[in-house]
Structure 1
């Protein structure tokens, strides 16, 4: 049986991975979903990133700062999707 890890894996990559997936989901929603349905689908995308954040952080197998890592992942995804939805709103205002 192996001993405890002396230098645990870094968990920042899992947090940033959720942000990247949120950005990709927001861009995909902007491309493939009609403008009237985007708000609902952005909410679904945020829910998906929440599930992804739990999955990634549970896969690390570390209980230390679990809640902080999941909160950072979901809050970052919320900010990313919020910025993307603000871009959708500004694009809808511009005549063209």
Structure 2
């Protein structure tokens, strides 16, 4: 039986860190990758965000609400990448 943490670490910072990585990766992909390859690289970035969210949440060492934290990290990264991809898609439509 384990004893409860007296002052557990805050877990929201790890969730936001994954979102920030997703935003940085989305912008870097949108700027440096040709338009024909963006969808494939966004998928790779989403996979990297999923792996990073596992690593961050396991690093916290708390089993309480692990699934909820993982879902929030991953879903947030998906939304961030989706919004950035939609922005670059609209920019391509308006420019071309």
TM-score normalised by L of structure 2: 0.94
List, as ranges, runs of 4+ consecutive aligned residues in structure 1 with deviation greater than 4 Å. none
Structure 2 unaligned blocks of 5 or more = none
Aligned length: 94
Q: Give the secondary-structure state (helix, strand or coil) at the position aligned to 2:95.
A: coil
Structure 1 unaligned blocks of 5 or more = none
Q: How big is each residue's C-alpha offset from its partner over 1:24-69, in whole Å with a ceiling of 9 and x where there is no partner? A: 0001101111010001100000000000000000000000000100
Q: Give the secondary-structure state (helix, strand or coil) at the position aligned to 1:67.
A: helix
Cross-structure match for 1:32:
32
Q: Give the secondary-structure state (helix, strand or coil) at the position aligned to 1:62.
A: coil
1:4, distance to aligned residue in structure 2 (A): 4.5
Cross-structure match for 2:70:
70
Q: How does 1:20-59 map to 2 (within 5 A)?
A: 20-59=20-59
Cross-structure match for 2:8:
8
CA RMSD of aligned residues (A): 1.1
1:7, distance to aligned residue in structure 2 (A): 1.5
Cross-structure match for 1:18:
18
Q: Distance in 2 between the 1:62 and 1:95 partners?
A: 48
TM-score normalised by L of structure 1: 0.94
